[in-house]
Structure 1
Amino acid sequence: MGTVDDYLDGLDPADRDVIGRIYDVARGTVPDTVQGEGYGMPALTYHGSPLLSVMRTKKHIGLYPFSPEAVDAGRPHLAGFDVEKGTVRFQPGTPPPDDAIRAMMAFRRDQIDG
């Protein structure tokens, strides 16, 4: 797969809108991101490390901040969401709240900064 923009261009409009919004919130939280890949997925990267990927699967959309601890940072805002070790799963009509995305991205940024 290519960049985040290439990936978004290939999605249906409903998925594109919700996934694009998540990337916008992530970029607002960590402005120094660039488009690249993380574990073979289109992703935002920060200082050469994967920061966030959001992918449509057959049954849901998965948000991957490449860190179980980053998911834990957003967990207080994710009641009712399907949250696993390093993933948040949701349906297009019920995306995670912006506060959860901001918390995960700030944590992951700080984690990358070391």
Structure 2
Amino acid sequence: MGEVGAYLSTIDGADRDALQRVIAIARDVVPEAQEGTSYAMPALLYRDKGLLATVRTKKFLSLYPYSGAVIASVLDSLSDFDTTSGSIHYSADHPLPDAIVRRIVEARRAEIDAKARVRRPTAQ
């Protein structure tokens, strides 16, 4: 069991189900993602970069895509949710729609891929 699995094992009930659902969608979109930590949170990593973390806080569940640009790219779909520049808040009673989670994960994967291409120019 990795960091994400270990974290989820500490959560019970509907909150755990909601967190697991987000992780399952992310794994479906980016099956090569690995479990690890990023910014001290259990996270899915892609190319050794934080792809997504979702955790329970005292008041809500939070999704962290590690990118303000990714949140901004889906902000029009998040009018029913509280957001910060780095997180999206949801709950088991008010979950993020699957399509939005997919868009977030796809956008973050594309952002990581684009940065990797810039750093590693192809040989000529």
Pick the TM interval, shorter chain.
Answer: over 0.9
Deviation at 1:79, TM superposition (A): 1.9
Mapping of residues 22-101 of structure 1, within 5 Å: 22-101=22-101
Give the whole-Å Cα distance in 2 for the aligned partners of 1:11 and 1:74. 28
TM-score (norm 1): 0.94
Identity of aligned residues (%): 38
**Matches of 1:72 and 1:109 in 2, distance apart?**
15
Aligned length: 113
When the two chains are superposed, the root-mean-square deviation of aligned CA atoms in Å is: 1.1
- Extract unaligned runs of 5+ from structure 2: 115-124
Instruction: Give the aligned partner of residue 6 of structure 1.
Output: 6
Cα offset, 1:76, TM superposition? 2.8
Secondary structure in structure 1 of the residue aligned to 2:53:
strand
Q: Distance in 1 between matches of 2:99 and 2:74?
A: 8
Give the TM-score taking structure 2 as reference length. Answer: 0.87
Larger radius of gyration: 2
Q: How far off its partner does 1:19 sit?
A: 0.2
Unmatched 5+ stretches in structure 1: none
